Amino acid sequence: MSREANLDQAAASQVPTSERPPISEAALEESAWRALRRAHAPYSRFAVGAALETRTGEIAVGCNLENASLGLGICAERVALFSALARGWQPGGRLVIVTRTARPTAPCGACREVLRQFVPQLQISSISASGARKQWHLQDLLPPVAPNVGRIKTDHRTCIARKRDGRELTTAEIHGLIQGLVSGEVDPYQMSAFMMAVCWRGMSRREIRDLTEAMLGSGARLDLSGLPGARIDKHSTGGVGDKVSIPLVPLVLAAGLRVPMISGRGLGHTGGTLDKLDSIPGYATELPIARLHELVRDPGGFIAGQTRELVPADQIMYALRDVSATIESVPLIVSSILSKKLAAGLTGLVLDVKFGCGAFMPDRQAAEELARVLVDVSVDLGLPAVALLTRMDDPIGETVGNVLEMQEAMRLLTDTEVAADLRELTLGLGGLMVALAGGARTMGEGADLLERKRRGGEGAEFGKRWIAAQGGDPHVVVHPDALPVSSSTRVIRARTEGFVQSINARKAGRLCTELGGGRHRMEELIDERVGLHFHRRRGDRVSPGEALVTLFLPQGAKGEAPVDGEDDLYRIGQEPPPEAALIAALVTKQGTFEDPWNVPVGSPG
């Protein structure tokens, strides 16, 4: 410490505590932002600053300091707390956290446990780069103990080693690991090691079921048992241009179903439904459980993000899957999806398992294996489920990018001329939801019902009610072009004559991400106004000079300069491409069916 700092501290110590003015919120924020600039985060690129008030009027600051060994880094919140304690300062009641993320960020599980020991009544304020603010009481961030499950004591290191060696874990061992994760007894690096062992060695169906149940038991559940009628959700394994959920929800609501849909954000080349909905002025994606319950009552459903109370174990593990290179693990995929769906109070689940160059699963065989495990485990745990296998080689619809996709999704509710693949997927998945609820015999019959709701305007009316109920502007349903897109564009034109063989979905998603419309890490900001609008699609005949796609660039960018990857989007050949069914098969508990439109669904359990 410098001589001047020593003199300042000495002078401050001579001022009686009662005479010191209270620390303002602005002073805490300014101190936290200054601390953030000193963060050392070369691995996560996620800088955090923190400022903790003390009972005697000082401000203790901290920033995150990372190490090449994951477990040896330390978060900003703990640095601030330990700094105060090391100086003999008693922590006060307020902590301010600042980040460069789009949304406020809460402390990690380890920080919450440490803070609880020293400052159990702490008030936490988090501020993002956009100026968004959120506040919590520390106790509200601590996970509840799993209901009706006693504390299970296990040797976590032994469990990890047993799975590493390919041995099957007991139910108690799996529950003990998950309970230890949410309580802070199991460190993130230990869970990463366990997840890698699962990725390499796999799990039996019984282990996957136990893991799903343990994750489900880590938090609260959305109890909708008092509401009449079927509660059906749809989940997609992720794709490019996948805007299906947005028109699907109001159409299915119009058919009389309840739709509690917990959705997610985009990462990498795939887009996220919540990112698209964020483009609607006022629309709230982060809601407490009590409000979600109200929305399922009226207008009948919602699309919102995972709340902090629901499945906290999954929130930790989902973040670790990316950094631990275990995204591909089927047991981890299944337990993540189903624990959230089981917590949402559903009576049925429709799964859209995609395969192809733009999907997570590269081919149909891998997709069918995943669908089979998802359906079997879901039914085993009491949730009727069916799955469609759908192709994801070309982007869905005519657009990729958040506002552009939002506009196209709304047009499906009001226009007669819409992209054929978007219409087919929306009506097919929605029709299957209706059939699973008992409102139709087959997916085809359910799709016919939804098409009548679409053409009759009922879907659009429910769209307005749903969006307004979540705080959004309902006028976007009938006036989607009012949502602003970038005015900086670049048109890519055909160089040869022929037929469009394909549009590479993965490369389209990556290009949108590089334009700023997606993210590589969850904390990154996105530009909702950029994207791609395809004028010619698979099977279309094109001539030299004809417009293929318009790129919506970051506002102010010059459209004359080539964009990396633009020449790799289209493949043009001299013959029309072979026909291939978009919806390839239906997977139920009874088997796999190649004619999904006409298979009686009945009760899949």
Q: What is the pLDDT of residue 141?
A: 76
13 assigned to active site: no
Q: Work out the average pLDDT over 33-41.
A: 91
- Check if CATH label 3.90.1170.30 holds for domain 482-573: yes
Note the pLDDT tens digit of each residue in 140-183: 777 544 444 455 567 889 999 999 999 999 999 999 999 999 88
Residue 389 CA to residue 405 CA, distance in Å, equals 22
Residue 100 CA to residue 549 CA, distance in Å, equals 33
Note the pLDDT tens digit of each residue in 203-244: 999 999 999 999 998 888 888 988 999 999 999 998 899 999
Cα dihedral angle (124, 128, 132, 136), rounded to 10 degrees?
A: -20
Domain with CATH 3.90.1170.30 in the chain: 482-573
235 assigned to active site: yes
Q: What is the pLDDT of residue 226?
A: 86
Question: One of 210, 314, 393, 527 is an active-site residue; which one?
Answer: 314
Higher pLDDT, 299 or 13: 299
Domain with CATH 3.40.140.10 in the chain: 3-141
Note the pLDDT tens digit of each residue in 481-498: 999 999 999 999 999 999
- Inter-helix orientation angle 312-323/188-201, to 10°: 70
Higher pLDDT, 110 or 203: 203
Query: Which of 3.40.190.10, 3.40.1030.10, 3.40.50.720, 1.10.10.60 is the CATH number of 232-305+338-481+584-594?
Result: 3.40.1030.10
pLDDT of 4 higher than 70: no
83 assigned to active site: no
Main-chain phi, psi angles of 145, to 5 degrees: -70, 140
Q: What is the pLDDT of residue 139?
A: 74
pLDDT of 549 higher than 90: yes
Q: Work out the average pLDDT over 240-258.
A: 96
pLDDT of 35 higher than 70: yes
Q: What is the pLDDT of residue 151?
A: 54
Residue 122 tokens read as 């702490």
- Inter-helix orientation angle 245-254/458-469, to 10°: 110
Q: Work out the average pLDDT over 310-339.
A: 86
Q: What is the pLDDT of residue 13?
A: 43
Chain mean pLDDT for the chain: 89
pLDDT of 252 higher than 60: yes
pLDDT of 453 higher than 80: yes
Q: What is the pLDDT of residue 21?
A: 63
The lowest-confidence range among 172-176, 297-301, 314-318, 595-599 is 314-318
Q: What is the pLDDT of residue 5?
A: 42
Task: Give residue 521's pLDDT band: very low, low, confident or very high (50, 70, 90).
Answer: low
Q: Is residue 146 within 8 Å of residue 218, measured between CB atoms?
A: yes
Q: Work out the average pLDDT over 42-46.
A: 73
Q: What is the pLDDT of residue 140?
A: 74
pLDDT of 8 higher than 70: no
590 CA to centre of own chain: 31
Q: Work out the average pLDDT over 505-523.
A: 85
Main-chain phi, psi angles of 95, to 5 degrees: -130, 130
Q: Work out the average pLDDT over 81-101.
A: 91
Domain with CATH 3.40.1030.10 in the chain: 232-305+338-481+584-594
Q: Work out the average pLDDT over 592-602.
A: 92
Count of CB atoms within 10 A of residue 258's CB?
A: 25
Task: Give residue 1's pLDDT band: very low, low, confident or very high (50, 70, 90).
Answer: very low
pTM of the model: 0.77
Task: Give residue 20's pLDDT band: very low, low, confident or very high (50, 70, 90).
Answer: low
Query: Which of 3.40.140.10, 3.10.20.30, 3.40.50.300, 3.10.450.40 is the CATH number of 3-141?
Result: 3.40.140.10
The lowest-confidence range among 323-337, 345-359, 503-517 is 323-337
- Inter-helix orientation angle 245-254/402-414, to 10°: 30
Task: Give residue 280's pLDDT band: very low, low, confident or very high (50, 70, 90).
Answer: very high
314 assigned to active site: yes
Give, for 191, the enclosing helix (H) or strand (E): helix 188-201
Question: One of 100, 156, 175, 340 is an active-site residue; which one?
Answer: 340
Q: Work out the average pLDDT over 516-542.
A: 87
Cα dihedral angle (548, 554, 556, 559), rounded to 10 degrees?
A: -20
Which residue has tokens 């906290």? 312
pLDDT of 250 higher than 80: yes
Question: One of 100, 103, 209, 235 is an active-site residue; which one?
Answer: 235
Q: What is the pLDDT of residue 326?
A: 85
Residue 525 CA to residue 100 CA, distance in Å, equals 8
Q: What is the pLDDT of residue 152?
A: 58
Main-chain phi, psi angles of 67, to 5 degrees: -130, 155
Residue 66's nearest CA partner among 40, 36, 92 is: 40
| Buried/exposed 353-392: b ≥16 CB within 10 Å, e otherwise | bbbbebbbbeebebbbebbbbbbbbbbbbebbbbbbbbbb
336 assigned to active site: yes
Which residue has tokens 């189903």? 338
Note the pLDDT tens digit of each residue in 359-415: 888 899 999 999 999 999 999 999 999 999 999 999 999 999 999 999 999 999 998
Q: What is the pLDDT of residue 143?
A: 57
The lowest-confidence range among 166-170, 516-520, 591-595 is 516-520
Q: H helices of 233-363, where?
A: 245-254, 273-277, 289-297, 312-323, 330-343
Task: Give residue 11's pLDDT band: very low, low, confident or very high (50, 70, 90).
Answer: very low
Q: Work out the average pLDDT over 128-144.
A: 78
